[in-house]
Amino acid sequence: MKALSQVGKYGLRAILYLVAYPSENSYMSIRQISDELNLSFHFVTKIFRELTAKGILISYRGPSGGVALARPADQIMLIDVVKALEGEDYFDKCLIGLPHCGTAKPCPVHEFWKETKVKIQQNFTETSLASLSEKIRSQEFRLDE
Amino acid sequence: MKALSQVGKYGLRAILYLVAYPSENSYMSIRQISDELNLSFHFVTKIFRELTAKGILISYRGPSGGVALARPADQIMLIDVVKALEGEDYFDKCLIGLPHCGTAKPCPVHEFWKETKVKIQQNFTETSLASLSEKIRSQEFRLDE
DNA sequence: TTTATTTCGGACTAATTACTCTGAAATTTA
DNA sequence: TAAATTTCAGAGTAATTAGTCCGAAATAAA
């Protein structure tokens, strides 16, 4: 089940690295992140520009510049990043692609799919980048290879 | 959340139409299905060829030919159609795209995502085309517009 | 002030997915 | 047998997504 585009996947991995291995109250360069995760530097740059435009990251140019979280990691939820990269309507899609699928005129799998989306959305809304970064730092969870 | 490709979406809608409005123990033409659902005839034809090759449909050429289910509708599960059109590995994908994400080396969202996939897979495994076709015939659920 | 470093902006190319089209093969009907 | 109807096969085209690249702008350090 391909739930995220490449932009979403790379974006999540990259921002999680940024959160999990923060430079002491300063910016981290995109180059470092893309090198560590073996992702295309240019592609990550493009994705991060989007996250900066959406107010999730802040950036600074020049030597010792880079990117940083715009808010503390416990105040940025998974859902914020996903919606920023995949679109605000991410959880509003009908499984079989009907335009105005809803309670009034549902498709045959509407009810089940709606419940599924609600559960995922709840989890993403409750999960902060901070909680995920702890897992990564604990070495039990990984972001690449 | 775009869980299915266009092939998957159109394929499901088309086969559900076939099941919901069966011609009396005979074949239904792809033209009728694509016309009713306002889908591209050629595209549906291509998708149905795949379902025929996978043993989900049978087909017959010539006048009064068309397609039909290879088995009774209560013996074809949603998961059969989805896997035929989206790939057998449909439920084996890591959310953030890590190659060998599993219990041994999980990504930070592995556990939650695994549970989510299991629930969807269970539902798809339990849901037959027959049960969905009843819903459609009841007029409370739709396949187009 | 010059040079190096970094993000920004956007044009460009490559790959994949989505869809179209044409003709062949099978089959029925006239 | 001839004509009409239908799927089969696969090449071709269009649109979208993925990824690359280059130069400009900002900033820091030499």
CATH number, span B6-138:
1.10.10.10
CB atoms within 10 A of CB A105: 14
Asked if pLDDT for residue B22 goes beyond 90, the answer is no
pLDDT digits (tens, 9 = 90+) for B59-118: 999 999 999 999 999 999 999 999 999 999 999 999 999 989 999 999 999 999 999 999
Q: Is A41 helix (H, G, I), strand (E, B) or coil?
A: helix
Q: How many residues does chain A have?
A: 145
Residue A59 to residues A8, A70, A111: CA-CA distances in angstroms?
A: 19, 9, 42
Contact list in A for residue B124 (CB cut-off 8 A) is: none
User: How many whole angstroms separate alpha carbon A33 and alpha carbon A38?
Assistant: 8
Beta strands in chain A (DSSP E): 57-60, 66-69
Could you tell me the pLDDT band of residue A145, with boundaries at 50, 70 and 90?
confident
Tell me if chain A has a CB within 8 Å of the CB of B53: no
DSSP tag of B54: T
Work out the minimum CA distance from B142 to partner chain A, whole angstroms: 5
Work out the minimum CA distance from B26 to partner chain A, whole angstroms: 24
Strand D-contacting residues in B 24-53, CB cut-off 7 angstroms: 29-31, 42, 45-46, 48-49, 52-53
Q: Give residue B35's Cα distance to chain centre.
A: 19
Q: Provide the whole-model pTM.
A: 0.96
Strand partners, A77: A128
Interacting residues of A78 by C-beta distance below 8 A, sequence separation 6+? A12, A123, A124, A125, A127, A128, A129, A132, B109
Domain boundaries, chain A: 6-138
Tell me if chain A has a CB within 8 Å of the CB of B123: yes
- A78:B109 CB<8 A: yes
Q: Which residue, B30, B37, B31, is CA-closest to B52?
A: B30
Torsion of CA B97, B99, B102, B104, to 10 degrees: -130
Tell me if chain B has a CB within 8 Å of the CB of A40: no
pLDDT digits (tens, 9 = 90+) for A70-126: 999 999 999 999 999 999 999 999 999 998 999 999 999 999 999 999 999 999 999
Q: Which nucleotide does the CA of A9 lie closest to, via C1'?
A: D18
Asked if pLDDT for residue B25 goes beyond 80, the answer is no
Q: And the tokens for A49? A: 């520009």
Strands A57-60 and B66-69: unpaired
Q: Which nucleotide does the CA of A5 lie closest to, via C1'?
A: D17
